[in-house]
């Protein structure tokens, strides 16, 4: 095994940037009974289950999710896709006071059996639109290279690599 492939065998944290919020694609129409809407604080437990499934290395519980997504004033919106009342995907917008012109796409998660249906695409587009409405001029996100479907989605939606380290440089040079 080459040294290069050894390095990439471990997931690498990468940052991506969408330099403008102009030209955001139209919100796709999801098939009924799927509905994109804002999450409610009463759904913190369901969000914790969804986020815990997507981010296995992190611990999500109802109380922590409520604090993280609903009590943190920098989280401007948490969007969900609901199917007959059950949450199947989510994404959030965070705007930090030290950089109010930048909206952060955070906590993008889709139920395992609902992936590849365009749910994350709809949510990220919704978060980008919300960021524009909040006065942001650009968007950023962090992900890891083991999120195989996420990176092509982000590239399709106008995000570009933001290279800050040699491991990141190596990932994007592939």
So what CATH class is 3-173? alpha beta
List Cα–Cα distances, 41 to 46, 47, 85, in angstroms.
Answer: 10, 9, 14
Question: What are 158's strand-pairing partners?
Answer: none
Residue labelled with tokens 């930048």: 102
What stretches of the chain show up as alpha helix (H) in DSSP?
Answer: 3-9, 44-54, 62-66, 119-133, 150-156, 166-173
Encode pLDDT of 59-102 as tens digits: 999 999 999 999 999 999 999 999 998 999 999 999 999 999 99
Instruction: Give the pLDDT of residue 135.
Output: 96
Instruction: Give the pLDDT of residue 85.
Output: 87
Instruction: Give the pLDDT of residue 37.
Output: 97
Sorted by where each begins, the domain ranges of the chain are 3-173
List Cα–Cα distances, 35 to 13, 112, 119, 156, in angstroms.
Answer: 31, 18, 10, 22
For 64-82, the three-class secondary structure string (H helix, E strand, C coil) is: HHHHHHHHCCCEEEEEEEE
Our CA angle for 138, 140, 145, nearest 5°, is 150
Kindly list the averaged pLDDT for each block of 10 residues, start to end, along the chain of length 174.
Answer: 47 90 95 95 97 90 96 97 95 96 97 92 98 97 84 94 78 71
Instruction: Give the pLDDT of residue 123.
Output: 98
């Amino acid at each position: 095994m080459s040294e290069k492939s050894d390095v990439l065998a471990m997931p690498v944290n990468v940052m991506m940037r969408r330099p403008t919020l102009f030209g955001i694609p139209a919100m796709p129409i999801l098939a009924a009974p799927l509905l994109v809407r804002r999450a409610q604080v009463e759904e913190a437990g369901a969000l914790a289950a969804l986020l815990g499934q997507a981010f296995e290395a992190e611990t999500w519980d109802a109380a922590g999710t409520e604090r993280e997504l609903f009590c943190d004033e920098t989280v401007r919106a948490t969007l969900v896709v609901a199917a007959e009342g059950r949450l199947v995907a989510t994404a959030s917008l965070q705007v930090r006071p030290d950089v109010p012109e930048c909206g952060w796409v955070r906590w993008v998660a889709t139920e395992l059996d609902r992936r590849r249906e365009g749910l994350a695409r709809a949510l990220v587009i919704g978060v980008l639109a919300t960021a524009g409405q909040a006065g942001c001029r650009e968007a950023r996100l962090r992900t890891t290279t083991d999120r195989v479907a996420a990176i092509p989605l982000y590239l399709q939606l106008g995000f570009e690599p933001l290279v800050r380290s040699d491991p990141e440089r190596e990932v994007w040079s592939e």
